[in-house]
Structure 1
Amino acid sequence: MNPVQTISSEELELLKVTDTPTICNVIELFDVRPRNTGYMDDRIQACFPEMSPMVGYATTATLSTDNPPREGETYAGMEAQLAQLDSIPEPRVVVFQDLDVPSAAATFGEVMCMTYQTFGCVGLITSGAGRDLDQVREINFPTFTSGTNPSHGYHQIADVNIPVHVGGVTVYPGDLIHGDCNGVTTIPNHIAGSVARLCAEYMEAEGYVLDFLKTGKRDLKGLHAARAACAEKFAELRKRALDSL
């Protein structure tokens, strides 16, 4: 696996205080991918919409819960997964592709989430289901799933740190992930630092229109002027984004 391209702790902090839709908007300024790609579809939902944004580098895995293991015990693959975590820098987001369609049982519960949290992970995403949600909420560990399931079934982690397909997106080990109540997106690592630094100005530009609307004035000329000022700022940000490539 190639070394993961990282960003500074200051840039990570900027991403942590920014909502995911704004992240998606700012990524568009760079023209590095089509606008309808890179984010997970509505099959993947936040279990705890009230939590702050989650940001981290993907440590990926596949799993199945539908078939009894040929040898060993259920959850036996977790220690092998933990042994490979250090190949991905912190903070980490665990990203699971459930190989069972539909999922047969839960990808995670309280013990798994607390284990991942202890080993430097800040959240978990699965194409499958989750359980123990009240307990996971208590430890403030963001999770994103396609649903819930009360049982762990025959939980077996198959492969670790390989490309996985979740919510219509292929996630590679080390990809930078951002998620909140609105959903989950990847951030191309090579522009992530620049994305972080432009977010506040992007929101300020949107503020030109929002501040006008908050006046309650039904003034089309005023709205047009506010939108024009916003568009002018967006154009400036877009130029700076493209110049940074």
Structure 2
Amino acid sequence: MTPSLLSLLRKVDTPTVCNAIEVAQGKRGFDRFTRGTMMCSAPNEPAIVGYARTAKIAAVAPPTEEPDVIRARRMDYYKHMAEGPAPSVAVIEDVDYPDCIGAYWGEINTTIHKGFGMSGALTNGVMRDLGDLPDGFPVIAGSVGPSHGFVHVRDLDTPVSVFGMTVDPGDLIHADRHGALVIPEDIVDQLEGAIQKLLTTERIILDAATQPGFDFDAFETAWTAFEKARV
């Protein structure tokens, strides 16, 4: 991922990237995105972009392993999040879903992950401390709740599932208030051009529709030009 692509990805929203992937692929049908409505802690901040650092957690019931095992895994988790290629995103599956109760993402944990240089977090689980989370570290979560429950780490560096989207360690993630997607590795070098093409062709319709006197004839002319430009 080049610096210019990273800068562009942080400026555009996830629906734009979703469409641009199909432009790069030359067809519709891209499906590595989240399903359903997710919640964003900072809907007005730039999109989360980075390589996935994955883990699984649980919180409804206390852990059954020995406390020293849980503590050691917790430290392994933070070491895992602190390392790896940058930019990075924490992608966490709460295995209690859809009955998640443990808010793993609160003021302390988000501040720690931001301190590691991570871009944000994506989870099917719970977040809390809204209003106290640090700027520059958005959380895209499944719900909001007050308690951390018995939250503990179950697995590290493993494939996870978040709202119907499977994420493998190292996958390139784009996420915002609309949800998230995995950018296919084989089109990364084409994506910047695809986004620019998409934005340019969309202006054909958007500019026409905001002109005085816009009517069906103007729409038809603009739409014809729009379809030609998309080919």
Same fold (TM over 0.5): yes
Residue in structure 1 matched with residue 44 of structure 2 by the alignment: 50
Gaps of 5+ in 2: none
- Whole-Å separation in 1 of the counterparts to 2:172 and 2:59: 27
Q: Of 123, 130, 148, which residue of structure 1 is paired with 2:120?
A: 123
Q: Deviations over 1:154-207 (max 9, x none)?
A: 111111111001010100111111112222111112212311232122111110
The match for 1:180 is 176
Q: 1:10 to 1:88 in 2, by over 3 A?
A: same
> What root-mean-square deviation, in Å, do the aligned CA atoms of Structure 1 and Structure 2 show?
2.1
Q: How far has the Cα of 1:132 moved from its partner?
A: 1.1
Contact 2:119 2:137 in 1 (8 A): yes
Q: Is contact 1:63-1:97 (8 Å) kept?
A: yes
- Where does residue 199 of structure 2 map in the other structure? 203
1:108-160 C-alpha deviation (Å, 9 max, x unpaired): 21111111111121100111111112111x43311011111111111111111
Counterpart of 2:100 in structure 1 is 103
Residue 54 of structure 1 contacts residue 179 of structure 1 at CA under 8 Å; is this kept in 2?
yes
Segment of structure 1 superposing worse, 11-20 or 206-215: 11-20
- Letter in structure 1 aligned against 2:40: A
CA distance in 2, matches of 1:24, 1:74: 41
Contact residue 205 and residue 234 of structure 1 kept, 8 A: yes
Output the amino acid matched with 1:52. P
| Residue 75 to residue 222, structure 1, CA distance change in 2 (3 Å) | farther
Counterpart for residue 238 of structure 1: none
Shift of 1:36: 5.7
Q: Secondary structure at the match of 1:14?
A: helix
Kept in 2, the 8 Å contact 1:12–1:196? The answer is no
**Equivalent in the alignment of 1:64:** 58
- Asked if 1:19 corresponds to 2:16, the answer is no
Q: How does 1:1-245 map to 2 (within 5 A)?
A: 7-31=1-25, 35=29, 37-69=31-63, 70-72=65-67, 76=71, 77-85=73-81, 88-101=84-97, 102-136=99-133, 138-235=134-231
Tell me the distance in 2 between the aligned counterparts of 1:73 and 1:44. 34
Q: Go from structure 1 to structure 2 and tell me whether the alpha carbon gap of 1:143 and 1:203 turns closer, same or farther (over 3 Å shift).
A: same
SS in 1 for 2:104: strand
Q: TM-score, normalised by structure 2?
A: 0.90
Identity %: 30
Evaluate the alpha carbon distance shift between residue 143 and residue 74 of structure 1 in structure 2; reply closer, same or farther with a 3 A threshold.
farther
Structure 1: stretches of 5+ with no match in the other structure: 1-6, 236-245
8 Å CA contact 2:87, 2:117 repeated in 1: yes
* TM-score w.r.t. length of structure 1: 0.86
